């Protein structure tokens, strides 16, 4: 009889433990969402050049973080996981857009958003256009290095590349921006 009671008690304990673990996971991701959402949208906006697409990408990155939370050994690395996921999602979106543009018209140009026109920030838009024109890996490295002020080591860990590769991408991206923008920065 005592065995039956202890067995019955353990059957009910496991779901409660899994529910509390699930709740803790959700709470951790929500806390990170509250603290980092706006920064991640700005980061993704620099990569995409489109705030609305950036918001969608960041939402998807947080969903993927929630799904992967149990695989993240160090919760302090969740921020790096988000950035890497955002870069990968932007790269995928960029590839899909390029493919669609090639199929429809080889010379389609991007149209500035109404918000950018309303702000009247021609210089800012010129810089954003120049950054958007960089290859995605260079763009990610330049934004992380100069805008987010991440170290080369942090960028390398986030993107899963070598520090030398980060240096090369930052150097090439920065050189291209200097040529494109001239003295207009």
- Beta carbons of 177 and 130 less than 8 angstroms apart: yes
Dist CA 141 CA 155 (whole Å): 7
Domains, the chain: 11-108 (1.10.1740), 113-185 (1.10.10.10)
Q: What's this model's pTM, rounded to 2 decimal places?
A: 0.57
> Which position has the higher pLDDT, 171 or 99?
171
- Beta carbons of 64 and 165 less than 8 angstroms apart: no
Dist CA 154 CA 143 (whole Å): 13
Rg of the chain's alpha carbons, rounded to an integer? 22
Q: Which of 177, 62, 65 is nearest to 127 (CA)?
A: 177
> Which position has the higher pLDDT, 178 or 14?
178
Give, in order, the Cα–Cα distances in Å from 56 to each of 3, 46, 62, 136. 52, 14, 10, 18
Structure confidence at residue 104 as a pLDDT band (50, 70, 90): low
DSSP-derived secondary structure letter, 73: S
> Which position has the higher pLDDT, 165 or 77?
165
Dist CA 32 CA 11 (whole Å): 33
Structure confidence at residue 20 as a pLDDT band (50, 70, 90): confident
Dist CA 134 CA 132 (whole Å): 5
Beta carbons within 10 angstroms of residue 69's beta carbon:
19
pLDDT at site 76: 81
């Amino acid at each position: 009889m005592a065995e039956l009671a202890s067995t019955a008690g353990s059957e009910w304990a496991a779901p409660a433990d899994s529910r509390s673990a699930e709740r803790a996971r959700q709470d951790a991701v929500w806390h990170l969402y509250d603290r980092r959402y706006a920064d991640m949208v700005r980061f993704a906006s620099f990569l995409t050049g489109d705030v609305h697409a950036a918001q969608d990408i960041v939402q998807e990155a947080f969903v993927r973080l929630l799904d992967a939370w149990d695989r993240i050994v160090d919760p302090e690395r969740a921020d790096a996981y988000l950035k890497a996921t955002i870069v990968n999602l932007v790269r995928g979106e960029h590839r899909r857009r390029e493919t669609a543009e090639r199929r429809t018209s080889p010379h389609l140009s991007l149209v500035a958003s109404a918000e950018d026109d309303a702000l009247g920030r021609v210089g800012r838009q010129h810089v954003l256009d120049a950054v958007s024109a960089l290859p995605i890996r260079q763009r990610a490295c330049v934004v992380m290095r100069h805008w987010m002020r991440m170290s080369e080591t942090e960028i390398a860990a986030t993107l899963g590349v070598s520090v030398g590769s980060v240096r090369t991408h930052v150097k090439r991206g920065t050189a291209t921006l200097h040529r494109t923008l001239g003295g207009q920065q």
